[in-house]
């Protein structure tokens, strides 16, 4: 039953990302609201459904993206794997953990995207992609990570009926 909350919530995040957040750009970079949301969700201690969320969120983003559908799925799964590792190691500094996770997750997903575009024959310069797309996207994602963690902490407390000690 707890997995079902992901369906409407991730669909809403995708709608927000494609309709509103995509209009807010910095140079050539855009926010990846799905990555930020999945990172914040996966960093919650008692959450057991972060893998489900990553797969479903990746499929949703892959279905509206021009990239192959499996690129967002792989990127989000790698981000969630890192988050689950961090939950066991850096449990006392959640704000630091969300910033590190969003930073590494953004770099991972952009690296996968650039690699897929290069393999498909795009004349994309890696230096240009990093300076005009990845770095601005990274800045916007880190900005969005700050409010995302408490929002998803409250959601985890509500969904899993856990006692909030923070």
Sorted by where each begins, the domain ranges of the chain are 2-160
- Fold topology of 2-160: Arp2/3 complex 21 kDa subunit ARPC3 (1.10.1760)
Contact 24, 133 (CB under 8 A): no
Residues 6 or more apart whose Cβ sits within 8 Å of residue 145: 36, 39, 40, 98, 99, 102
pLDDT per position in the chain (166 positions), as tens? 566 777 888 899 999 998 988 888 788 888 899 999 999 999 988 788 888 889 999 999 999 988 889 999 999 999 999 998 888 776 677 888 899 999 999 999 999 998 998 898 888 788 888 888 899 999 999 999 999 988 988 888 888 776 655 5
Closest by CA position to 76, among listed 61, 93, 65, 88: 61
Q: Radius of gyration (Cα) for the chain, nearest Å? A: 15
**Helix and strand tally (H, E) in the chain?**
7, 2
Q: Which of 64, 138, 132 is nearest to 104 (CA)?
A: 138
pTM above 0.85, yes or no: yes
- Cβ count near 7 (within 10 Å): 13
Q: What is the DSSP letter of 26?
A: E
CA 156 from centre of chain? 17
Which residues in 75-103 are b (16+ Cβ under 10 Å) and which e? bbbbbbebbeebbeeeeeebeebbbbbbe
- CB contact burial 130-148 (16+ within 10 A = b; e otherwise): eeebbbbbbebbbebbeeb
d(CA 91, CA 96): 10
């Amino acid at each position: 039953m707890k997995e079902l909350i992901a369906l409407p919530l991730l669909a809403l995040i995708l709608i927000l990302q494609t309709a509103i957040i995509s209009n807010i750009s910095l140079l050539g970079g855009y926010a990846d609201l799905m990555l930020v949301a999945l990172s914040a969700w996966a960093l919650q201690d008692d959450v057991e459904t972060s893998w489900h969320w990553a797969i479903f969120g990746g499929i949703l983003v892959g279905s509206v993206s021009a990239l192959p559908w499996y690129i967002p799925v792989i990127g989000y799964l790698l981000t969630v794997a890192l988050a689950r590792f961090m939950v066991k190691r850096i449990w006392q500094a959640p704000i630091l953990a969300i910033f590190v996770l969003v930073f590494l997750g953004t770099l991972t997903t952009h690296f996968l995207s650039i690699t897929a575009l290069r393999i498909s024959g795009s004349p994309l310069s890696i230096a240009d992609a990093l300076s005009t797309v990845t770095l601005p996207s990274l800045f916007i994602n880190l900005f969005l990570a700050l409010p995302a963690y408490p929002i998803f902490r409250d959601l985890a407390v509500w969904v899993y009926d856990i006692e909030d000690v923070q």
